[in-house]
Structure 1
């Protein structure tokens, strides 16, 4: 396949993905709908780090007029997902160590607080749901399906955040969790199988069952710190390889 045809194929694939997200989004306001769709594509690496695109191209793929798409892109730039390149369009922000390190620091602290608070509010149903997530993660590890593992990992942590019953904490984490998820996907094939994370998840749930909120906080903080360090080390390693290349 020549370069021109390959680019056409890639854009056709991206259009199909964006339209599938469009069907999933339950939002009537077009700018907000466009924002959610594009952000999801960036989060899931369908729009790759440093990938350039035009407003017109995205509007055509979404089958929307350019006005709501322009509003969505402006907001995405303000939120740190993309950047405007004068006279050239937009570019997806790269995944760099410094930015992800700052996000990991926030996640460590706030996920720890969330675990502490959630321990006080969780009922048996929530605990069983967390345990079912862990079982699914174990199955995905055996299948070497790391993308599915990461999706369930997201659900595990989001349930704990929701059970914290702290809306402000949830709002802050929502603004960073997708960036952290993107970094995890970006590094996922370079990481060891996350067997240790399973053990840490089980320890966190055990502390919650025992109603030991401080232990849950410490275990969650340690879990996030270790996982974040793995991601940061791989990002740095990939950056060095790219510079040598």
Structure 2
């Protein structure tokens, strides 16, 4: 167990990671006896972890049925990506005066790495590079509260993106968007970069929503 973490937090972290990586899939039931055996503990801290994960939106506890991994619906995608688009757009706007030529060079390198993945199905490599690209301007926004909020959303985002990996999404669309964002940062055009990031995040949500709808049809 990680030093300083409670047993409940350690269990919640492990289950959350399984959900984010889609090892535990939407609609799958979490069986207390199996988890108790897996972690070698009583059911009490498992139930405490369940309550924490329910509060975070990863599972739903149904009376007489137990804990079930929450489904991701098109409405969930709309809600989360709208929030993220607004907040990331704001972070981009605030960071524009502080983005250095070195930051722009790093963003360009990240986008070149994404270009090499063009035509491929979305992968964890894509998610890592994409997250690194966005982190550059988020971390430069000079607003610690906004940074914390965005990183608290990132776990849900990772789950949504990993779900897309199990479908057939392609990485091509992000590269052109990123280049426009890089150019706007280079021009120190805060309003333009805010609009570009806002639209980029919303379009990412639209692509995921289409994948979800196509899977159901």
Q: TM-score range by the shorter chain?
A: 0.7 to 0.9
Per-residue Cα deviation, 1:76-130 (whole angstroms, up to 9, x for no partner): 1011110112233210000111111110110111111111112222233433322
Equivalent residue runs for 1:195-234 within 5 Å: 195-234=172-211
2:100 is matched with which residue? 123
The whole-number CA distance in structure 2 between the counterparts of 1:227 and 1:104 is 8
* Residue of structure 2 in register with 1:190 after alignment: 168
**How far apart are residue 195 of structure 1 and its match?**
1.8
Contact 2:121 2:171 in 1 (8 A): no
Where 1:190 maps in the other structure, the secondary structure is: coil
CA contact (8 A) 1:141 1:149 kept: no
Report the Cα distance in structure 2 between the residues aligned to 1:179 and 1:68, rounded to whole angstroms.
Answer: 23
Deviation at 1:27, TM superposition (A): 5.5
Pick from 76, 82, 95 the counterpart of residue 59 of structure 2. 82
CA deviations over 1:121-151 (Å, ceiling 9, x no partner): 2233433322222122222336656331122
8 Å contact from structure 2 (residues 8, 45) kept in 1:
yes
Give, in whole Å, the separation in 2 of the partners of 1:133 and 1:234.
Answer: 25
Closer, same or farther: CA 158–70 of 1 in aligned 2, 3 Å: farther
Match of 1:56 among 23, 33, 39: 33
Superposition map of 1:107-186 within 5 A? 107-141=84-118, 146-186=123-163
Contact 1:53 1:91 in 2 (8 A): yes
* Equivalent residues, number: 216
Higher helix share: 1
Cα distance change on mapping 1:63 and 1:143 into 2, 3 Å: farther
C-alpha contact (below 8 Å) 2:119/2:171 kept by paired residues: no
Shift of 1:74: 0.8
Once the 2 structures are TM-superposed, how far is the Cα of residue 201 of structure 1 from its aligned partner?
A: 0.6
Q: Normalising by structure 1, report the TM-score.
A: 0.78
Residues 54 and 88 in structure 1, CA contact (< 8 A), matched pair in contact too: no
Question: Quick one: structure 1 residues 87 and 136, their matched pair in 2 at CA, closer, same or farther if it must change by over 3 Å?
Answer: same
Question: More relative contact order in 1 or in 2 (CA 8 Å, sep 6+)?
Answer: 2
Unaligned runs of 5+ in 1: 1-21
Q: Is the 8 A contact 2:113 2:129 kept in 1?
A: yes
The answer to whether the Cα contact below 8 Å between 1:115 and 1:164 also exists between their aligned partners in 2 is yes
**For the residues of structure 1 that align with 2:74 and 2:160, how far apart are their CA atoms?**
10
